[in-house]
Structure 1
Amino acid sequence: MKKNVISIMGPTAVGKTNLSIEIAKKFNGEVISGDSMQVYKGLDIGTAKIKPSEMQGITHHMLDIREADQEFSVSDFKENVQKYINDITARGNLPIIVGGSGLYIQAALYDYNFSEAKRDHTITNKMEEIIESEGIMPLYNRLVEIDPEQAEKIHPNNHRRVIRALEIYESTGMTMTAYKENQSMESPYKPILLGLDMERELLYRRINERVDHMMKDGLLDEVKNLYAKGYENCQSMNAIGYKEFIPYFKNEQSLEETIELLKRNSRRYAKRQLTWFRNKMDLTWFHMTPATIDKQFANILDELAGILK
């Protein structure tokens, strides 16, 4: 029989972490972070990484497994998540994936194969020559033009990933995003996909408030520490909550402008997340409000009790 795997998705600041704890307590679960930036040590406040004091005794995985200057690809994500799913179910417990981008979650739950597209070294060599003579930006701008969704996930200085995304397009005629979408949607698991949503104005207010809380908790010092270590061009520093501060450190914008930019980028990301989840994945949606959140959590637990019995 296929293993049950719960995945809780939705925009930032909607209540996914609290729901995961409640599900884990009731159904003997263990939590797997679906946020590919929470794998990095030292990226705590800006990624809203759960604190040990908030875990309520629930085991959490995929936190602090990479140094901030290391890469972490979607293939790495898939491999690690599937390993934890197997380990958790082997102990007789329920795996609960919390958060993450739609593509990354799909890759893990539907076993995407990222090695099928063969390498074309002629194309690769040509692009490497362009980088050597003109720099990376002509290629990166090309990627932004043909596949903006993938470009957003890749730092311009990550030459290998930029080249790979363009190579797939040149050799198959499909963007990396489309290539991933067209893979089989048959899952080796029994995914239970839960989506949390919230009225847009309330969600945006919660996101703004979350950024203010992050600043009070020391986000500026956290990012400054990473920047001082020379991580400016690392994949980890391309995350929302970190990249916005680099112009501030270079005296190109004020702190007030930086905070407003972070809030705006967070709101826009939440909007893109919701669009993706609604268009690309078959989630069971639950609408959250401050007045009904406890009732909705109870409804979710009741529904899961029927599914998991």
Structure 2
Amino acid sequence: MEQSPLVAVVGATASGKTGLSLELARRLNGEVINADSMQLYRGMNIGTAKITPQEAQGVPHHLLDVLHVTEEASVATYQARAREVIAEIRSRGKTPIMVGGSGLYIRAALDTIEFPPTDSQLRAQIQAQLNTDGAAALRAELRDADPETAAVIKDERRLVRAVEVVRLTGRTFTSFMPQRAHEPSLTPVVQLGLRIDRPLLHERIAARVQQMRTSGLLDEVRALDAAGLRSGRTASAAIGYQQFLRVIDGMQTEEDAVEDTIVATRKFARRQETWFRADPRTMWLDSPDPTIADRAMEAIQRQAG
């Protein structure tokens, strides 16, 4: 039996991915698979613009709310679970529609990617070294062993992971980065990217963050803080949540947290655009456009047909 295509809807935050994915699910008898790493977390709803059951309108969604905020998200684990869901949806004769802005998670699901091993004991030793001696020595070690990775890593969590990989495998962290194959491993795949003018995207991001504030983001962060958010290495770093934790701590005002979240989200959107533009397999659609679903269906039929 011929497999239904996997449709991946990608692009920057606030570009319109959710709306398009719902319309495609209705037209293609599809089910949606989340590819936003922060929407994996239970309770992180307002700050991630997670779709509500009312908005989903009966369209099944997968890989939402599968982690507690204290758990660390894993691309390797996501890869395995996403592929299981894709196979299960296809087995029922339906169309899997992957939607999200976490580029590495999407690549992991679609392409052949080798993930470096982990060693919790070694990582704990490196973390202890960081806590005792600071980051300078680890950065120097990484510069010697893997200058390409050292040049781009900014935060300490990734620094610890990169050093762990070098010590554990003798290989650079860069050597494990995904190489975009000419064809995805889960063919047939149709990748649709949403392209939106930068000034409009900035307006939409600002409006979305303001709406998050009025919808109760601060209360959501308080509840997650009580549930252990700060101890979650991945969840606590989420845009919006780290800013509003500072409000709870009295380190800044809610107004400042909103502005900082807007600025951080705009920077993140630029990184998303850079990532997705680098993949020549993505077919780009201008957003917003009242005919975007029609144009998406035409693209799907051309590539899958």
- CA gap of 1:207–1:137, structure 2 versus 1, over 3 A, is farther
1:169 CA drift (Å): 4.0
1:35 corresponds to which letter in structure 2? D
Unaligned runs of 5+ in 1: none
Aligned match for 2:203, one of 205, 209, 218 = 205
1:69 corresponds to which letter in structure 2? T
The residue correspondences of 1:102-251 to structure 2 (distance < 5 A) are: 102-115=103-116, 127=126, 130-131=129-130, 133-134=132-133, 139=138, 146-147=149-150, 156=156, 162-169=159-166, 171-172=169-170, 174-176=172-174, 178-182=175-179, 186-190=183-187, 191-234=189-232, 235-251=234-250
Q: Deviations over 1:4-33 (max 9, x none)?
A: 211100001111001001111111110001
For the residue of structure 1 that corresponds to 2:59, the secondary structure is coil
How far apart are the structure 1 equivalents of 2:137 and 2:107? 30
1:167 CA drift (Å): 3.0
Q: Deviations over 1:65-97 (max 9, x none)?
A: 111111221111111111110110111111100
What's the Cα RMSD here? Answer: 3.0
* Equivalence for 1:264: 263
For the residue of structure 1 that corresponds to 2:129, the secondary structure is helix
| Contact 2:13–2:101 (CA under 8 A) maintained in structure 1 | no
* Equivalence for 1:22: 23
How far apart are the structure 2 equivalents of 1:296 and 1:147? 41
1:16 corresponds to which letter in structure 2? K
* Equivalence for 1:300: 296
TM-score, length-scaled by structure 2: 0.86
1:166 CA drift (Å): 1.6
* Equivalence for 1:84: 85
- CA gap of 1:173–1:301, structure 2 versus 1, over 3 A, is same
How far apart are the structure 2 equivalents of 1:142 and 1:294? 53
Unaligned runs of 5+ in 2: none
2:163 corresponds to which letter in structure 1? L
For the residue of structure 2 that corresponds to 1:189, the secondary structure is coil
How far apart are the structure 1 equivalents of 2:297 and 2:283? 13
- CA gap of 1:107–1:212, structure 2 versus 1, over 3 A, is same
Q: Deviations over 1:240-281 (max 9, x none)?
A: 121112222222222111110000000110011001111245
2:270 corresponds to which letter in structure 1? K
Single out whichever of 93-102 and 128-137 deviates more from structure 2. Answer: 128-137
* Equivalence for 2:51: 50
For the residue of structure 2 that corresponds to 1:31, the secondary structure is strand
How far apart are the structure 1 equivalents of 2:6 and 2:267? 29
1:298 CA drift (Å): 1.4
How far apart are the structure 2 equivalents of 1:84 and 1:188? 15
| Contact 1:110–1:185 (CA under 8 A) maintained in structure 2 | no
Corresponding residue pairs, total:
297
| Contact 1:2–1:189 (CA under 8 A) maintained in structure 2 | no
1:136 CA drift (Å): 6.8
For the residue of structure 1 that corresponds to 2:114, the secondary structure is coil
1:102 CA drift (Å): 1.5
For the residue of structure 1 that corresponds to 2:38, the secondary structure is coil
How far apart are the structure 1 equivalents of 2:236 and 2:140? 20
Q: Deviations over 1:166-223 (max 9, x none)?
A: 23345555334x5213476653312211000111000000000000111111111101
For the residue of structure 2 that corresponds to 1:71, the secondary structure is coil
- CA gap of 1:93–1:256, structure 2 versus 1, over 3 A, is same
* Equivalence for 2:97: 96
| Contact 1:40–1:67 (CA under 8 A) maintained in structure 2 | yes
- CA gap of 1:81–1:225, structure 2 versus 1, over 3 A, is same
Single out whichever of 10-19 and 252-261 deviates more from structure 2. Answer: 252-261
- CA gap of 1:203–1:128, structure 2 versus 1, over 3 A, is closer
How far apart are the structure 2 equivalents of 1:296 and 1:46? 26
How far apart are the structure 2 equivalents of 1:278 and 1:179? 21
